Amino acid sequence: MNNKDLNVALVQHSNTGDVQHNLNKTIQGIKEAASEGAKLIVLQELHCSLYFCQTEDTDCFDLAETIPGPSTNTFGELAKELKVVIVLSLFEKRAVGIYHNTAVVMDSDGSIAGKYRKMHIPDDPGFYEKFYFTPGDIGFEPIQTSVGKLGVLVCWDQWFPEAARLMAMAGADVLIYPTAIGWDKRDDAEEQKRQLDAWVISQRAHAVANGLPVISCNRVGLELDPSGQSEGISFWGNSFIAGPQGEILAHAGDCDDQILTANVSLSRSESVRRIWPFMRDRRIDHYSDLLKIYRD
């Protein structure tokens, strides 16, 4: 079994209402990660702007862009210059009245390797995403790149084991989650800990269940609610990189901008799957009820 190591990084940072400022911060983070040897660099969900889904405001549709478009041009040139693969997260304008929360992968030659449109769309207080995003229609298809086959998912997808499993079944080498998640300012310390622990545990479990590394990139900082109906969201950071047994390889803090890097062994997934053959022992002949909403 040949060893295949990959230096990976994620760029965790706070955002402001100044899109150009956010863009500059993201580009600087990518350059710093590349200078540290990273060949795969993951950005947080909707990294170009504030998390605008705290309210339902039709003016926010002005933030959407086409693919190809300004961001893919900018990050494609950067990927080619630095010879890295970049996973970015965009508010995609597919057509008039049809918008998606879309992750795009730029390959190391500057081309668009592929995209993933967020499949699971939340609609909770402070996270009114159904107002903005049409559910994805591409499905759970890994994206082939020069560094491997990337199982890219987005934020709310990270709570669903089915999404991770389908990416693994399609041959993904790694699971990747650009994310924007945080606390309601009214949550007490105990509730905050429960939520954060659940978020980390869920994604580490995807690594264990599928024998794959996981890269999860979240944002940080307080973003106020423009409507004033709440105190806003404190994005909790804690971005991390885990190995195929769920082991933490690198873990960011909860309040600071940070470039997180780690060396991930893609070949170790085979060793893990040999000792934990979960894929082999699945009883697909008795899983048909999974296609139901609920068993009454």
CB-CB contact of 170 with 142 (8 Å): yes
- Please report, for the chain, the start and end positions of each structural domain, with discontinuous segments joined by +: 5-291
pLDDT category at 229 given cuts 50, 70, 90 is confident
Which tokens is 159 given? Answer: 């709570």
Largest CA distance in the chain: 57
- Report whether pLDDT(116) > 80: yes
CB-CB contact of 51 with 83 (8 Å): no
What does the pLDDT look like over 173-205, one tens digit per residue?
999 999 999 998 888 999 999 999 999 999 999
State whether the Cα torsion 78-80-84-88 is positive or negative: positive
Residue 4, Cβ neighbours under 10 Å: how many? 15
Phi/psi of residue 241, nearest 5 degrees: -125, 125
What does the pLDDT look like over 15-30, one tens digit per residue?
999 999 999 999 999 9
Which tokens is 135 given? Answer: 């559910």
Q: What amino acid positions are annotated as catalytic residues?
A: 45, 118, 155
CB-CB contact of 154 with 101 (8 Å): yes
- Report whether pLDDT(46) > 90: yes
* Beta carbons within 8 Å of 53's beta carbon, 6+ residues apart: 126, 127, 128, 129, 131, 132
**Prior bond of 68 cis (ω within 30°):** yes
3-state helix, strand, coil in the chain (%, to 5): 30, 30, 40
> How far, in Å, CA of 282 to CA of 259, rounded?
38
Strands lying side by side in the sheet with 85-95: 112-117, 98-106, 85-95, 40-43, 5-12, 258-265
Residue 252 confidence (pLDDT): 98
Average pLDDT over residues 44-66: 97
- Report whether pLDDT(2) > 60: no
Class of domain 5-291: alpha beta
- Report whether pLDDT(98) > 90: yes
CB-CB contact of 93 with 66 (8 Å): yes
State whether the Cα torsion 28-32-38-44 is positive or negative: negative
pLDDT category at 1 given cuts 50, 70, 90 is very low
Average pLDDT of the chain is 96
Average pLDDT over residues 59-74: 98
Burial letters for 172-204: b for 16+ Cβ neighbours within 10 Å, e otherwise? bbbbbbbbbbbbbeeeeeeebeebbeebbeebb
**What is the percent of the chain where pLDDT is above 90?**
95
Average pLDDT over residues 141-149: 98
CB-CB contact of 154 with 168 (8 Å): no
